[in-house]
Amino acid sequence: MSTVAEQALRRRTFAIISHPDAGKTTLTEKLLLFGGAIQLAGTVKGRKASRHATSDWMALEQQRGISITTSVMQFPYNGKIVNLLDTPGHEDFSEDTYRTLTAVDSALMVIDAAKGVENRTIKLMEVCRLRDTPIITFVNKLDREGRPPLELLDEVEKVLGIQCTPITWPLGMGREFKGVYHLLEDRFYLYSGDKHRVSEIETIDGLNTPGLAERFGAPYQTLLDEIELLQMAGTDFDLERYRAAKLTPVFFGAAINNFGVRELLNGFTDWAPDPLPRHTESREVAPTEPKFSGFVFKIQANMDPKHRDRVAFLRVCSGIYRKGMTLHSVRLGGPVRVNHALIFMAADRESVEEAYPGDIIGLHNHGTIAIGDSFSEGEPLRFTGIPNFAPDLFRRVVLKDPLKAKQLNKGLDQLSEEGATQVYRPLTNNDIILGAVGTLQFDVVQFRLRDEYSVECVFEPVQVYCARWVTGSDDKLFKAFVDKNETRIAKDHYGDLVYLASSSVNLSMTQERHPDVRFLDTKEHG
Ligand code: G4P
């Protein structure tokens, strides 16, 4: 087997999707502990403390500085190389969170046992569905009183539309939490409540081992009843259905006490797919191809005025990236100078000279790279599936000094190419409307306009409920639609038409009136 095939097969590139406070940060930290990437618990937590303090620019800067290194965490486990991509979730929730999900091969969904499926999870799951990304579920916080596990699984199935296959099952909950039963191994893992007992977990083999009823009491009987129900329902694990995103294996645990995490990580590294082939406009690219290719899914600006560069995060799709190699930008049709590339490696950053399919590399540049850009060794491959996502938040830009309109436009063009915000210019007036999925995006845009383009502006609320890209196959009908709704239509940065609905009723009525027009909530770049 070639080196690239061998290395690609070892890669597991994934992200965690969850609603804020479900336990993503805690779980990340424990995964890194198991992976040997960090020695002490608390390393990732520090980041969260800074994440909660926003709006103060210092905090923002600090946070973004830190998050370059935490954007990708790589660690070895069970002979695999795991790449965990950060999905900003609190105030730093942004379109990047969605786009990161286009760069992974699978995802891990964390659910709070007391809260069940929450709205951010629903949105992130919709993004995963665009590419049928396989999902493993972790139900967290079993050390607290939560909802009955069967009810939680039922909610996942109904709300998220994916079949659940429990791999572990809780023995009690809250104060009565005694551990989990592993259905595939026929083994109990017992919970002691102590933090960080990684290697000393007591296990008991066999569901019907004598003495368990006496030892565990009512929770054991409940578990037996529930397991019987599960078996009758016939929800056996099926690798193919998991890989096709039709089924999600479910694990239960308490991340804070390191419980249930190892079983989760074992399941993950055994089942999660290695790098998948990727579509381009011209052909499918297999990870094992010898020539390098990849695409940019995220751009992060350096907030330090002394180092005004940007780091573009590129997912390697095929071949090998070697330090110092020349990359061909498909959009620009030529080589792009990259001062030095960062290869993310938690364990031993110094010695890494190469990156393989599934890995992420960071390219320093001064604005020559845009979101969605494809890179290769020369072949004009344009990767698809790295879309813009319709924003949920909108502001009108009000320029303080009207003479700065040119700089404002230049700044907004650059910022929209970097994916920091989306810019809409209505057809019938001179407004500029910004769209974002997280409020911090507006803070970043305002700061960068001032800092990099010397443009002072304020953002006002605007009566826009949502944006939908509109297209129509019948030119005449489409023109009639545009003429009739001119005041609610704008052009995005790339000149594509967007319908800015004033309310959900307005959107559905317009859709009803124009069945021939397509209203899209994602749009491919370019
Ligand atoms: P997030 O990244 O998804 O937002 O969640 P995070 O890990 O920060 O966890 C949110 C809160 O839930 C934290 O408490 C964390 O300690 C707690 N938590 C995480 N996993 C578990 C668990 O298995 N059991 C219990 N009981 N709690 C858990 P916090 O009070 O907000 O923060 P902190 O003071 O603990 O840092």
196-220 pLDDT tens trace: 555 578 999 999 999 999 999 999 9
* pLDDT tens figures, 495-515: 999 999 999 999 999 999 999
Report the nearest atom of ligand 1 relative to the CA of 253: 23
What's the average model confidence in pLDDT over 304-312? 75
Give yes or no for residue 33 having a pLDDT over 90.
no
Report the nearest atom of ligand 1 relative to the CA of 140: 23
Among the listed ranges 64-68, 411-415, 433-437, which one has the minimum average pLDDT value?
64-68
The predicted structure's pLDDT at residue 198: 57
* DSSP state letters, 440-471: HHHHHHHHHHHHHH---EEEEE-S--EEEEEE
The alpha carbon of residue 292 and the mean position of all alpha carbons in its chain are separated, in whole angstroms, by 24
Pocket of ligand 1 (CB under 6 A): 18, 20-26, 45, 48, 89, 140-141, 143-144, 254-256
Element (H, E) at 413: helix 405-417
* pLDDT tens figures, 277-294: 999 999 999 999 999 999
Which of 44, 256, 259, 261 has most ligand 1 atoms within 8 Å of CB, for mutation?
256
Give yes or no for residue 258 having a pLDDT over 50.
yes
Q: Which residue segments constitute the domains of the chain, with CATH numbers given?
A: 16-67+106-271 (3.40.50.300), 278-376 (3.40.50.300), 390-524 (3.30.70.3280)
In Å, what is the CA distance from 107 to each residue of 72, 78, 262, 434, 479?
A: 14, 18, 17, 30, 41
* pLDDT tens figures, 386-418: 999 999 999 999 999 989 999 999 999 999 999
Centre of ligand 1 to C-alpha 364, Å, is 34
Q: Which of 426, 419, 301 is nearest to 365 (CA)?
A: 301
The predicted structure's pLDDT at residue 507: 97
pTM: 0.92
The predicted structure's pLDDT at residue 12: 97
Give yes or no for residue 59 having a pLDDT over 70.
no
pLDDT cut 90: percent of the chain above it? 74
